[in-house]
Amino acid sequence: MAGPLSGIKILEFQGIGPGPFCTMMLSDMGADIVRIDRAQNVKPEGGGFSLDFLARGRRSVGVDLKSPEGIETCLRMIEKADAIIEGFRPGVMERLGLGPDVCLARNPSLVYGRMTGWGQDGPLANVAGHDINYISLAGALAHIGRAGEAPVPPLNLVGDFGGGGMLLAFGMVCALVERASSGKGQVVDAAMVDGTAALMSIIHGAQLSGWWKEERGSNMLDTGAHFYDVYETSDAKYVSIGSIEPQFYAVLLDKLGLAGESLPPQMDRSQWPAMKERFQELFKQKTRDEWCEIMEGTDICFSPVLTMSEAREHPHIKARNTFVPVEGHPGAQQAAPAPRFSRTGCEIQGPPPQAGEHTDAVLSEYGFSSDEISELKGTKAVA
């Protein structure tokens, strides 16, 4: 089955993190992604299989972006592309001669995706940063962590991949859908600081209403509540509880052996610390596997806290084929494409490419003659 984006041709200017994650998602949905790698990174002898999962499912062309011939090669490819994606600082593509004005003049229907931390404008637009900085400024990091402790960076999932790559993928598809009716391309300005703020919308609303307190670790969803937290077990592992609804909380109390006791109301915040201490004592009395026997599969909203290697082996994860084998790496697994479709399907189109691995084939598909390709290789504009 062809993916829902089958037939869409996208050029990706090689970058790191959120940009490649965006193009991985688009490739998994069937888009034909060609990555523009730096010619200087092309190794004549090639290389082995890669575990760079974000780079899966596309082909690679090696181009010298400091060469006029290399820039013209990119522009000729852009003329035949549906979209491009770049993740440089603001102004870099313009200085290369590949800015939106130039590219849209060559291809007015082009969707031009831009991935940055701070956005294309604003006082910090040209300042360096990473996920931790973007989620700090957007008001997310301050609220992740326990009371009395420092904020805890949630890996780089919120800024880079949630607020960045995933929002850019959404923006690219939106622009492609709009183009179907207007026939016109446009620029998609995806900033991780903007995307993180959007992810925090429900929390902002709760704070403005007075229900959410800005003190870290004092609210229902930030480890303040005893019924929404992780607990250590007797074997130094952890389980997670999310028994928000009263009916789920009742099942939790029953499985903990507390159903017959006179307990404070679930939403009495003044009693949350004391109840948390009680829960901590109870959960430390059994191993994680023992609690799984008691609670997993009930409406408690319970799960064991699994490591990456453990998650890949969980029966539910295996039943859904959430992870799939890695080509060329026996025993290794990677996350399967998501979400899933009933009719069009989606699949990993191939392993991560070596830089410049498909230069000749791709340029030929984009209209370059064999003589032109040989000349470009001779001048080292491509590799």
Q: What is the pLDDT of residue 170?
A: 98
Q: What is the pLDDT of residue 1?
A: 61
Residues 6 or more apart whose Cβ sits within 8 Å of residue 129? 117, 118
Omega of the bond leading into 18 within 30 degrees of 0 (cis): no
Q: Judge whether 82 and 177 are in contact, CB under 8 Å.
A: no
Alpha carbon distances (Å) from 128 to 90, 124, 125, 141: 11, 8, 8, 18
Catalytic residues: 130, 160
Positive or negative: CA dihedral 259, 264, 267, 272: negative
Q: What is the pLDDT of residue 260?
A: 87
| CATH for the 9-199+323-378 domain, from 3.40.50.970, 1.10.150.120, 1.10.10.60, 3.40.50.10540 | 3.40.50.10540
- H-helix segments, the chain: 18-28, 68-79, 92-96, 100-106, 131-137, 167-182, 192-199, 201-209, 246-255, 272-283, 288-295, 308-311, 315-319, 359-365, 370-378
Q: What is the pLDDT of residue 47?
A: 65
- The radius of gyration of the chain's CA atoms, rounded to the nearest angstrom, is 25
Give the C-alpha separation, 35 to 63, whole Å: 10
Give the C-alpha separation, 255 to 298, whole Å: 10
Q: Which residues of the chain, if any, have pLDDT below 70?
A: 1, 46-48
Pairing mode, if any, of strands 83-86 and 238-242? unpaired
Give the C-alpha separation, 275 to 217, whole Å: 15
Give the C-alpha separation, 313 to 370, whole Å: 49
Nearest Cα residue to 274 out of 284, 264, 283: 264
Looking at this protein, which amino acid is placed at residue 335? A
Q: Which residue ranges make up each domain of the chain?
A: 9-199+323-378, 228-316
Q: What is the pLDDT of residue 365?
A: 97
Residue carrying the six token digits 């059994």: 286
Q: Which CATH superfamily is domain 228-316 in?
A: formyl-coa transferase, domain 3 (3.30.1540.10)
Pairing mode, if any, of strands 83-86 and 9-13? parallel
For residue 157, how many C-alpha atoms fall within 13 Å in the half-sphere facing its CB? 5
Q: Judge whether 337 and 46 are in contact, CB under 8 Å.
A: no
Give the C-alpha separation, 343 to 3, whole Å: 9
pTM: 0.94
Q: Judge whether 362 and 383 are in contact, CB under 8 Å.
A: no
Residues 6 or more apart whose Cβ sits within 8 Å of residue 266? 227, 246, 249
Give the C-alpha separation, 161 to 352, whole Å: 19
Nearest Cα residue to 17 out of 117, 141, 121, 152: 117
Give the C-alpha separation, 8 to 36, whole Å: 17
Give the C-alpha separation, 32 to 11, whole Å: 9
Nearest Cα residue to 168 out of 185, 196, 190, 197: 190
Q: What is the pLDDT of residue 46?
A: 66
